Structure 1
């Protein structure tokens, strides 16, 4: 896996945990919110493996909800206490990393 892919994978985990921490939500809504917030290179095929991984780690819980219009059931995700702890750790690391990268990039001349 390329470095870029590894970075995106880690960022997507934190971004999705952050969205779920704002309230119970489902996969397609998460995808829409990521797109609305200009998260790069995102599609539905990339979020569902993350949701499964977060669930297996115990960071989120799920519940199935029957559709109001007779459609298929929808899986809703909620953050757990351990998920909140992980999100706090992610946020602290992100702030430090973002500050460091921003400092470095200020000193780099425009790349052509």
Structure 2
């Protein structure tokens, strides 16, 4: 990916990546950020929280606080039924999109 295209592509899919990660199990912000940073999808934990806010405002995720030992409670995120449906639709659309793009750019 080029430097010009890469941030736009990442921004377009990071919400779905969050939904994909939390569809396997509830996760807290630091854990999500670590996985997304490792994958090169976000630059820092600070870029994750606006994404989580958008997903919550849209009704795609919910957040619960759980106390585990000493220290502050952690905020765990889980997809709502709407979020799970949105992820399912994205998964179907993504495969078709990748196929069409590969046809256009000559990869298939």
- What TM-score, normalized to structure 1? 0.79
Q: Secondary structure at the match of 2:83?
A: helix
With over 3 angstroms needed to count, the CA separation of the structure-2 counterparts of 1:102 and 1:13, relative to structure 1, is same
Q: Report the CA distance between 1:106 and its aligned residue.
A: 2.8
Q: Secondary structure at the match of 1:78?
A: strand
With over 3 angstroms needed to count, the CA separation of the structure-2 counterparts of 1:3 and 1:33, relative to structure 1, is closer
With over 3 angstroms needed to count, the CA separation of the structure-2 counterparts of 1:55 and 1:40, relative to structure 1, is closer
- What TM-score, normalized to structure 2? 0.82
Q: Deviations along 1:89-112, whole A, 9 cap, x unmatched?
A: 1112211111122223336xxxxx
Q: Deviations along 1:32-89, whole A, 9 cap, x unmatched?
A: 22234x2344321221111111111111111111241x22221100111101110011
Q: Please name the residue that 1:77 is paired with.
A: 77
Q: Please name the residue that 2:48 is paired with.
A: 47
Q: Is the radius of gyration larger for structure 1 or structure 2?
A: 1
The CA distance in 2 between the partners of 1:59 and 1:78, in whole Å, is 9
Q: Report the CA distance between 1:31 and its aligned residue.
A: 1.5
Any gaps of 5 or more consecutive residues in structure 1? 108-112
Among 8, 27, 37, the residue aligned to 1:35: 37
- Are 1:94 and 2:94 matched, yes or no? yes
Which aligned pairs between 1:10-29 and structure 2 lie closer than 5 A? 10-29=12-31
- Are 1:64 and 2:65 matched, yes or no? yes
Do 2:60 and 2:83's aligned partners in 1 also have CA atoms closer than 8 Å? Answer: yes
Any gaps of 5 or more consecutive residues in structure 2? none
